[in-house]
Homo-oligomer: A and B are copies of this chain.
Amino acid sequence: MVLGPLQELIAAARGEIEVDLLLAGGYVANVLSGEVYRTDVAIHKGRIAGFDCSSAALVLELDGKIIAPGFIDGHVHIESAMVTVPEYARAVVPRGTTTVVADPHEIANVWGEAGIKYMLQSSRDIPLNVFVMLPSCVPATNLESAGAALGVDALAGLLPEERVLGLAEVMNYPGVIFRDAEVMKKLALAGRRPVDGHAPGLTGRDLSAYISAGIRSDHECTTIEEALEKLRSGMHIMLREGSAAKNLLDLLPLVTAQNARRFLFVSDDRHPADILQEGHIDFMVKTAIEQGLDPIIALQIASLNAAQCFGLRDLGAIAPGYRADIAVLDELEHPHVVRVIKDGKVVAEDDEFIAPLKSPVAARHKTMQIGPISFEILAEKGPARVIGIVPHQIITRSLQLLPKIQDGKVVSDVDRDILKMAVVERHKATGNVGLGLVQGFGLASGALASSVAHDSHNIVAVGVSDEDMLAAVLAVKEMGGGLVAVAEGKVVASLPLPVAGLLSEGYMRDVAEGIAECIDAAHTMGCKLEDPFMTLSFLCLPVIPELKLTDKGLVDVREFRVVGMFLGEG
């Protein structure tokens, strides 16, 4: 008699048939009962069958190791890892991550619906559960030109897709609290599905208004006070440890046994080098425990809490019927993931991914459409607005300085470190070029350019001459997207990112190396910033104060409008 999957699981649990796998000799970190205790775990057809068996096709001896539920990243932009989803899985799965809740916001800004479908398609049948929250704010603002717009109809078409859970971070908080018609429609569309928030600094009545709309999480808290108010007001607090934004240590003291269930670990934006060197959710678990958090609570935050937040009923715990997604830890005080089991199969051992991995879906749409461009800035009288970089932060200062002028035109001024910067629209060949000045890069020669430029991902460039900047932009276009460093008109380092101008099709370690080479080249050219390409990418983000540059021009973020370079015309 052929059994259906449920019937077979029940038979396996009862010991009527041989199970696929028995994990023997380990201790289960049971996030449901809040205990760690000695027991075997029986697995059949990718699910937990129970805690013993009559016979097993394979017995894995764990020698006292800890059997923990696979980790869940509650909010991630996979694009920040600059690799395809299968390659992302190769990097994070050995770290114990078996599920991510992804917001494909970046690729949606380039490709719209097609980008989201690409992420869904390329994440199918890989040993990582990739759930998707639909980007709620594409384009992010009307102060820039994105490659696509995701309206209510597009979202409605995507919502029924398998693995789509709800609506991703609603960055447009004014749209919520002032009840913008389009935003209201998107919230109504989400209905009772999860809706993630993004509300840095929002407080008091405005915060209540935002949350009353059904928005139930936030990953932007930077202080205990902010997180406490959001926790009290009904938000799941996402403890973020990204590459640019790191909030874990600041927020951990807020966690108590009585409120811990409302916290999740999330990476948001985490770059290749950080994933490869520090790790992923495993790094947060380890850090939290080392900071004094009860290990079982740290593991709950890393698993069950996210599963409950997103209604993933068969993930986040080790119990009969749950998917057999497991991180085996060497110990609990300074835990290191030594083996990972996904859907009942060992997929990673000793930090190495060992399972077969499908090739990413081909995705070579042309996304580098550039119109005729010029970087010429006609000089005017008086001081000009200059973007002032604040090291290690994504905010900038709006400076007022007298620019260097030659032949009636504004030029880069290496001596005072005031360089020309350009954002070239690259989605629809409109010929839009935003031009500005920036202080803080420290380049003495050459130019840098990148197609990773939040949120619209046009091509951003900075350099000491128009010629080098143009060469850099054209080199990015030639690669189909990527990072580049140009000296004396020649490419000296580059990293192609041909998928949407955001992702490589290569290995994460090669991407990390490529980035390092580009950064080294920039440093050789005099740049003092730790990661000038990350800085460059955030200089285009017009929702973070004070002064930013998009393809439409300089944006005064406090006034939320495009302004001229010279104050005279401001």
Residues of A within 8 A of B (CB): 3-4, 6-7, 9-11, 13-15, 30, 32-35, 42, 47-52, 176-177, 179, 184, 187-188, 192, 204-206, 208-209, 211-214, 216, 228, 231-234, 256-259, 261-262, 294, 296-297, 300, 308, 311, 313, 317, 319-322
Contact = CB atoms under 8 A, between A and B. Distances in A.
Most buried by B among A13, A256, A300: A13
A32 B213 contact: no
A29 to B, nearest CB: 11
B232 A33 contact: yes
A319 B232 CA distance: 7
Contact of A212 (B33, B49, B297): B49
Given A208-B320, A258-B296, 9 more contacts: A10-B213, A14-B206, A34-B258, A35-B232, A48-B212, A50-B205, A50-B233, A234-B322, A257-B257
A164 to B, nearest CB: 15
A321 B14 contact: no
B233 A319 contact: yes
Contacts of A177: 10, 14
B32 A205 contact: no
A4, A52, A257 interface centre (most CB from chain B within 10 Å) = A257
12 contacts: A7-B184, A14-B177, A30-B232, A32-B232, A34-B256, A51-B208, A212-B320, A234-B319, A234-B322, A257-B258, A258-B300, A308-B308
B50 A321 contact: no
A231 B33 CA distance: 6
A179 B32 contact: no
Given A33-B231, A179-B11, A212 B258 contact: no
A209 B13 contact: yes
Top 8 A-B pairs ranked by shortest CB distance? A34-B258, A50-B208, A234-B319, A257-B257, A13-B209, A212-B320, A34-B259, A13-B208
Given A6-B187, A234-B32, A214 B321 contact: yes
Contacts of A7: 179, 184
Contacts of A311: 311
Contacts of A50: 205, 208-209, 212, 233
A300 B256 CA distance: 14
Given A4-B184, A205-B14, A211 B321 contact: yes
Given A50-B208, A208-B49, A208-B51, A33 B184 contact: no
A214 B9 CA distance: 11
A4 B212 CA distance: 13
A39 to B, nearest CB: 8
Nearest to A231: B33
A188 B257 CA distance: 36
Contacts of A256: 34
A10 B261 contact: no
Specify which of A6, A184, A232, A313 lies most central, judged by the most chain B CB atoms within 10 Å of its CB.
A232
Contacts of A234: 32, 317, 319-322
A227 B343 CA distance: 28
Contacts of A15: 205
A320 B211 contact: yes
B34 A192 contact: no
Among A52, A177, A261, max chain B CB count under 10 A is at A261
Nearest to A15: B205
B321 A188 contact: no
Contacts of A300: 258
Given A11-B179, A179-B11, A320 B209 contact: yes
A494 B228 CA distance: 58
